[in-house]
Amino acid sequence: MPEPIVQIKDVRKCFGTVQALRGVSLDVAEGEVVVIVGPSGSGKSTLLRCINRLEEYEEGTIMVDGMTLDRTSNINAIRREVGMVFQSFNLFAHLTAMQNLVLAQCIVRKRSRQEAEQVALALLAKVGIPEKARVYPAQLSGGQQQRVAIARALAMNPKIMLFDEPTSALDPEMIKEVLDVMTSLAREGMTMLVVSHEMGFARAAADRVIFMDEGQIIEEAEPSDFFLNPREERTRLFLSKILHL
Amino acid sequence: MVAVAATIVLLVLLWPVPFRDLVLFARDGVLVTIVVTVSSYALMVVVGLFGGLGRLSKNKLIFGIASLYVEIVRGIPLLVQLIGWYFASPVIIQRVGLWLDLQPLIQYRANPIVTAVVAITVCYGAYTSEIVRSGVQSVPKGQMEAARSLGMSHFQAMRHVVLPQAFRVILPPMGNEFIALLKDSSLVSIVAVADLTRRGREFMAAHFNPIETWFMVALLYLILTLVAARVVSYIEKRSKYERY
């Protein structure tokens, strides 16, 4: 079996006196789609943010694509390989959709403007909004903004994509357009870690579902097993709340 | 603005004595006021940018130096700072010169305009630092995170993502700063800079006509600030997000 592309070993993290992560270990294989669920405050987003070091952690190790994220390693090198999509989109408000996609390609990947714009146009077409290239984020709907944000992350040709509750800030009718993009990305073999409560997406695209609570991984299973036969009592309680059984 | 300009022209044409004489006498003073204002402002922007970013630095030393600078300078009147720079700094430089035995330092004489520009820059730089700091803080944290997650360095993210957005927030208070600085530049008249205010005093002393003199000086300041305000609002309009 090849080396996992993400290796998380016994990671611990505190916010003041609150223990956000209490020893989390997780391996993700190349091309795998992992969905992380859990109640709010369970540490799912923190774990995701530790993978590209937007959050520091106190103990444990995280290896991404063979590189260790310790304090001396070049964090920017890892961030180039790891794309991230945020709950609040975080599109650059002073730039058009096109410029949002072009900026980092030019200054981080050192691509020519012409090449970067070709990549950007192709990706905007892929997420279904090529006609919005010259439009500013404030003029786009939430779903469109999130699709631009996904395209922006993809423009860097990441090996791994992290999604931090990508549909939580969206109106119901816009959720599907974002999930469709994510599902097709999963089918193309992208390695994805997704914090989301979209059970439809988890069933359709995930290879593995992980349930976190109080900073620990409680249970992990294939989607079908996870939803039909959860082993742990806490998982059952959580599922009964979100699935309205 | 047009009304003020028309009043000035009318006064000059209808009563050449004293108004035409005053305008001719004080025009180099107007020039000095503009030069002092514009050069202090340009330097102040640079100082404020570094000061403001210093106030946001995670490095305790940089943060400490920037905070000390802002806190001290903000609490001392500009007039006191001006007099201090003008009278105390040459003596300090001369003493250092004597100590190091360096002739150019011993013979140092304060250039009034340079001293005035330095004093105003230091003082207004502190206010500007606070404007820059609040402007940068007004940009949502997610913007920096998104930029960093794409692999940009902290500096690149600041330069390409955060500062361009902060700039639009900073612009209106920076316009106010320019107008306030233009008016406060009249304080330099007490450290031997022949600006508009000082030329006015000289004219009044020679002709004993305080009412006419200060009415005209006030009008000249007013026209300068009104023009500045127009320029500021033009720049503000230009820098809005397109079709935003």
pLDDT score of B101:
82
The pLDDT tens digits for A112-149 are 999 999 999 999 999 999 999 999 999 999 999 999 99
CA distances in angstroms from B41 to A239, B44, B53, B127, B173, listed in the order given: 62, 5, 18, 12, 13
Q: Are A188 and A31 in contact, with CB atoms under 8 Å apart?
A: no
Judge: A104–B150 Cβ closer than 8 Å, yes or no.
yes
B57/chain A closest Cα distance in angstroms:
17
Per-residue pLDDT for A183 more than 60? yes
Band (B241; pLDDT cuts 50, 70, 90) = low
pLDDT score of B146:
94
CB pairs under 8 A between A and B: 70
Give B23 or A105, the one with higher predicted confidence: A105
Opening angle at CA A64, ends B58 and A157, nearest 5: 95
- The minimal CB distance from B152 to the residues A108, A152, A153 is found for A108
SS3 A133: coil
Q: Residue B154's closest chain A neighbor by CA?
A: A76
**Chain B residues with beta carbon closer than 8 angstroms to that of A77:** 151
The pLDDT tens digits for B122-162 are 999 999 999 999 999 999 999 999 999 998 988 999 999 99
Average pLDDT over every residue of B61-82: 94
Q: Are strands A208-213 and A33-37 parallel, antiparallel or unpaired?
A: parallel
Phi-psi region of A67 (alpha: psi -120 to 50; beta: other; left: phi over 0): beta
**Chain A residues with beta carbon closer than 8 angstroms to that of B141:** none
Judge: A76–B242 Cβ closer than 8 Å, yes or no.
no
Per-residue pLDDT for B53 more than 90? yes
Residue A65 CA to residue B192 CA, distance in Å, equals 68
Judge: A83–B149 Cβ closer than 8 Å, yes or no.
yes
Q: Are B40 and B185 in contact, with CB atoms under 8 Å apart?
A: yes
DSSP string, A38-61: --TTSSHHHHHHHHTTSS--SEEE
Average pLDDT over every residue of B183-194: 90
B104/chain A closest Cα distance in angstroms:
47
Residue B146 CA to residue A90 CA, distance in Å, equals 6
Band (B83; pLDDT cuts 50, 70, 90) = very high
The pLDDT tens digits for A60-84 are 889 888 888 776 567 888 888 899 9
CA distances in angstroms from A183 to A54, A82, A186, A188, A215, listed in the order given: 25, 18, 5, 9, 27
The pLDDT tens digits for A98-109 are 999 999 999 999
Contacts of B56 (CB under 8 A, 6+ apart): B63, B133, B136, B137
pLDDT score of B243:
43
pLDDT score of B13:
84
Judge: A103–B143 Cβ closer than 8 Å, yes or no.
no
pLDDT score of A72:
58
Beta bridge partners of A8: A26, A62
Within 10 Å of residue A84's Cβ, how many Cβ atoms? 26
Judge: B142–A107 Cβ closer than 8 Å, yes or no.
no
Per-residue pLDDT for A58 more than 90? no
The pLDDT tens digits for A4-52 are 899 998 899 988 888 889 989 999 999 999 999 988 888 899 999 999 8
Chain centroid to CA A108: 20
Per-residue pLDDT for B242 more than 60? no
pLDDT score of B17:
80
**Chain A residues with beta carbon closer than 8 angstroms to that of B166:** none
pLDDT score of B244:
42
**Chain B residues with beta carbon closer than 8 angstroms to that of A83:** 149-150
Q: How large a percentage of chain B has pLDDT more than 90?
A: 56
**Chain B residues with beta carbon closer than 8 angstroms to that of A138:** 241, 244
B165 contact A CB<8A = yes
pLDDT score of A244:
66
**How many helices and strands in chain B, by DSSP H and E?**
11, 0
Q: How large a percentage of chain B has pLDDT more than 70?
A: 98
Name the average pLDDT for chain B.
Answer: 89
Residue A46 CA to residue A197 CA, distance in Å, equals 16
Average pLDDT over every residue of B194-207: 89
pLDDT score of B159:
93
Residue A218 CA to residue A227 CA, distance in Å, equals 14
Residues 132-151 of B with CB under 8 A from A: 140, 142-143, 145-151
